[in-house]
Amino acid sequence: MDMPSSSCQSLGKPMVVELTRAQTSRAENRIQLKDINLNNHVKYIPALLQHPFYKELIKGELEKLHHKGNLYFKKSLWQEAVELYSKCIHFARPFSIERVPAGSEIKRDILVVAASNRIQALLNQRLWQRALLSAEEALRYDPKHVKSLYRKAKAFEGLQDYKRACSVLEKALEIQPKNEAIKRTLDCCNELYHQSVTGEYYLANLLCREGPAPVPAFSDYVGPLQIQSTTQKGRGIFLTEDVEAGKLLLVSNGLAFGASELDDREEQLWGLTEEILYLCNSSDRFLHQVHYLWTSTTNDPRTTGEIPPIDLFIPGSDWAPTSEIEIPSWEGVLGRAVTNSFDAHRTILPFTFGEGKSELAALTPKDKMSVVGIWGLPSFFNHSCAPNTSTLTIGRAMFVRAAEAMAAGTELTISYICTEEINRDGMLHHWNFKCRCQRCIHDRKIKPLFQDSLDDMNQLRSKLEQSMTLDLEIFEGCSRVIACVEDAIEKLPIEASDREKNWIRFTFHNVYFTKLRFASLISPKERIELFKLLQKAYESVSVAGVGSHLQMGASILYAVQSEYGEGSPEYMEARRELRRQFTRTLGNLNEEDVEKVLKTKFAKDNLWYCRCTAEDKSLT
Ligand SMILES: C[S@@+](CC[C@H](N)C(=O)[O-])C[C@H]1O[C@@H](n2cnc3c(N)ncnc32)[C@H](O)[C@@H]1O
């Protein structure tokens, strides 16, 4: 900080002469610390501190800065608080450590506390790397300052460097062995470290919780994957080893989110762009992840961009920046947001863990519940309308599993849109490509064969939308469409795999679903068959998620139980099938977990499919 040269000179010897005057009328002769470039005059500091007036003056000024910083902190004005703490540290620094005469009262305490509070203000802004630097400074002044150690660990946690976070927390615990907050954070970081290394996430407890509960944090995890160029779709993600269905491929926490109350995509993207730009300051890792999202020289990501090292996405890896990267421009970030953001709200199902909605609300302002987000590594997945992975988002974390057994070298795909979407081409226009996935090609081929049934379905749909009630006409309409579809599938003039047949059923899944609602008009056996057809149809397009998929599996189990009895081969088969679905969606749950989940989250009374009877009593 520059200052007029005259006041600089006043720090020399002549100033001592003025001291008595200054002491006698302190108010008028007030010298403000900001007027003095202390760093240029450190040699005078010991002498300065010998004098009680100057010592008091400096102490008072530092306390004022610190206090003002605290006021901003209390008002959650983090940036302003950081500025004030930084000023305080800047002025206090020359009075610290070796420069300060023994016994001086200013010494390090104010410096340590200001630096420590600054860490917290930076943590609150998710500026992890700066928080870490501030922590290192605070700990240079006092290596045993427990709060600073704790906050340093939180900065490592934010950077997903859980191993280092644990070792700092262990140090803090040695100093304060009974500190509960440190113990809890250490347990949490140990668990996150375990997740990041092993890919073991225990989700059964989450499922069994009654009522809304906060969603825990999960670590990122990267399975056997690599990023490679494709021939027509830019870069993509590929398997590096053979995997079984259900294998966890990656877990990735959303980096930034943008929300809108009215599902306004522009508003979402602007919010997202702002958040990404802001977070570009949070760490080199984040900045590089954003950088790699668009490295092609043209605006078309299909011209292959630079391939990022996979280490960049692995928590606690040795990745380090090899070059300086500038924060991209607003337009550059907006472009990345357009082609790399995915809906967040559609993956948070109402029948999910904790309070999916409020968890997202915590990330975004007020009730803006339509949310898009950007995830680092998942941004490199290309799209398919029948993806070979299933995704499930819990809070910020996206879990991606293999939807089927696959060989090393397979390109992995996710769906950018709801796979139920009828107008998929229209939905995909944001991403600027025409989908040529197997399902789209198959759909185009068979569409003429099912045109009558499609028209019938559309009529039924508009009737339902208008009347909002179920009546016999709708029941009969559903039965007719299903019979036609099943008959046409049976007699298909072209070769089709089971999966392709299920894609056709999936196109009509609303009709199957509506018929199921007429529980009193269909026999239990027919109901079970309908359930099974619907489930296979869902599975064929990888509609994963606790909401529809597992609910249906549990409903089948209950329906089979009441029709065939517990212990019957049909019941055992339905139970095996349900466990298979659990594994595919949530990872391996043992029999005990399955039982626990069935008794809580999937208890019979909770399941709409089990409760539903024909809603219009006049039907019977
Ligand atoms: C989320 S990015 C996927 C990664 C991208 N391939 C890259 O190299 O950065 C989305 C972009 O990838 C391309 N893409 C994704 N799926 C595609 C597909 N099925 N066919 C053609 N292009 C696709 C489109 O250009 C789209 O805008």
Burial of 260 (0-12, 13-18, 19+ CB in 10 A): buried
Residue 7: band (very low, low, confident or very high) from pLDDT cuts 50, 70, 90: very low
pLDDT of residue 602 exceeding 50, the answer is yes
CB under 8 Å to 37, separation ≥6 — which residues? 1, 2, 3, 8
Smallest CA separation from ligand 1 atom 27, residue: 431
Cα-to-centroid distance, 386 and ligand 1 (Å): 15
More confident residue, 178 or 587: 178
Which of 383, 419, 430 to mutate to test ligand 1, by most ligand atoms within 8 A of the CB atom?
383
- Distance in angstroms between the alpha carbons of the first and the last residue of the chain: 86
Whole-number pLDDT of residue 23: 41
pLDDT digits (tens, 9 = 90+) for 37-84: 555 555 566 666 667 777 777 778 888 888 999 999 999 999 999 999
Q: Return the number of other C-beta atoms located less than 10 Å from residue 108's C-beta.
A: 19
Smallest CA separation from ligand 1 atom 21, residue: 233
Q: Which of 59, 60, 48, 65 is nearest to 10 (CA)?
A: 48
Q: Would you state the structure tokens that stand for residue 599, as one six-digit string?
A: 């008794």
Whole-number pLDDT of residue 108: 66
Cα 57-59-60 angle, rounded to 5 deg: 65
Residue 590 CA to residue 476 CA, distance in Å, equals 42
Question: Do residues 538 and 548 lie in contact, with contact meaning Cβ atoms separated by under 8 Å?
Answer: yes
CB under 8 Å to 401, separation ≥6 — which residues? 246, 247, 248, 249, 389, 390, 391, 392, 544, 584, 585, 587
pLDDT of residue 357 exceeding 50, the answer is no
Whole-number pLDDT of residue 330: 92
* Cα distances (angstroms) measured from residue 322 to each of 127, 309, 332: 21, 11, 22
Cα-to-centroid distance, 425 and ligand 1 (Å): 14
- Tell me whether strands 341-343 and 225-229 are parallel, antiparallel or unpaired: unpaired
Which of 237, 339, 416 to mutate to test ligand 1, by most ligand atoms within 8 A of the CB atom?
339
Which amino acid is it at 107? K
Residue 479 CA to residue 142 CA, distance in Å, equals 76
pTM metric for this prediction:
0.84
Whole-number pLDDT of residue 464: 82
Cα-to-centroid distance, 540 and ligand 1 (Å): 22
**Interface confidence (ipTM) of the complex:** 0.99
* Cα distances (angstroms) measured from residue 312 to each of 207, 288, 377, 500: 31, 8, 9, 37
Q: DSSP class of residue 176? A: -
pLDDT digits (tens, 9 = 90+) for 319-337: 999 888 889 999 989 988 9
Whole-number pLDDT of residue 104: 54
Residue 238 CA to residue 255 CA, distance in Å, equals 22
Smallest CA separation from ligand 1 atom 4, residue: 380
More confident residue, 234 or 192: 192
Smallest CA separation from ligand 1 atom 19, residue: 383
CB under 8 Å to 170, separation ≥6 — which residues? 186
The gap from C-alpha 372 to its chain's centroid, in whole angstroms, comes to 11
Residue 588 CA to residue 600 CA, distance in Å, equals 18
CB under 8 Å to 110, separation ≥6 — which residues? 59, 62, 63, 66, 88, 92
Cα atoms in the 13 Å half-sphere on the side-chain side of 585: 27
* Cα distances (angstroms) measured from residue 366 to each of 246, 282, 348, 359: 36, 24, 17, 12
Q: Would you state the structure tokens that stand for residue 398, as one six-digit string?
A: 């996206």
Which of 427, 431, 434 to mutate to test ligand 1, by most ligand atoms within 8 A of the CB atom?
431
Query: What single string gives the DSSP state of each residue in 415-484?
Result: -SS-TT-S-HHHHGGGGT-----HHHHHHHHHGGGGHHHHHHHHHHHHHHHHH-S--HHHHHHHHHHHHH
Atom index in ligand 1 nearest the CA of residue 230 equals 6
The helix/strand/coil state of 567 is coil
Residues within 6 Å of ligand 1 by CB: 233-236, 301-302, 305, 339-340, 379-380, 382-383, 431-433, 435, 437
Smallest CA separation from ligand 1 atom 26, residue: 431
Question: Do residues 172 and 179 lie in contact, with contact meaning Cβ atoms separated by under 8 Å?
Answer: yes
Full set of structural domains in the chain with CATH: 5-196 (1.25.40.10), 221-436 (2.170.270.10), 442-619 (1.25.40)
Residues constituting the chain: 620
Q: Would you state the structure tokens that stand for residue 508, as one six-digit string?
A: 């009509």
Mean pLDDT of the region 352-367? 46
Whole-number pLDDT of residue 544: 54
* Cα distances (angstroms) measured from residue 92 to each of 7, 85, 100, 102: 19, 10, 11, 16
pLDDT digits (tens, 9 = 90+) for 405-434: 999 999 999 988 877 767 788 888 888 888
Bridge partners of 259?
Answer: 371
Cα-to-centroid distance, 237 and ligand 1 (Å): 11
Residue 465 CA to residue 459 CA, distance in Å, equals 10
Cα atoms in the 13 Å half-sphere on the side-chain side of 269: 16
Cα-to-centroid distance, 477 and ligand 1 (Å): 40
Question: Do residues 114 and 73 lie in contact, with contact meaning Cβ atoms separated by under 8 Å?
Answer: no
Whole-number pLDDT of residue 29: 44
* CA torsion through residues 452, 455, 460, 463, sign: negative
Query: What are the φ/ψ torsions at residue 225 (nearest 5 degrees)?
Result: -130, 155
Of 31-35, 57-61, 201-205, the least confident: 31-35
What is the pLDDT of the chain when averaged over all its residues?
A: 81
Whole-number pLDDT of residue 6: 27
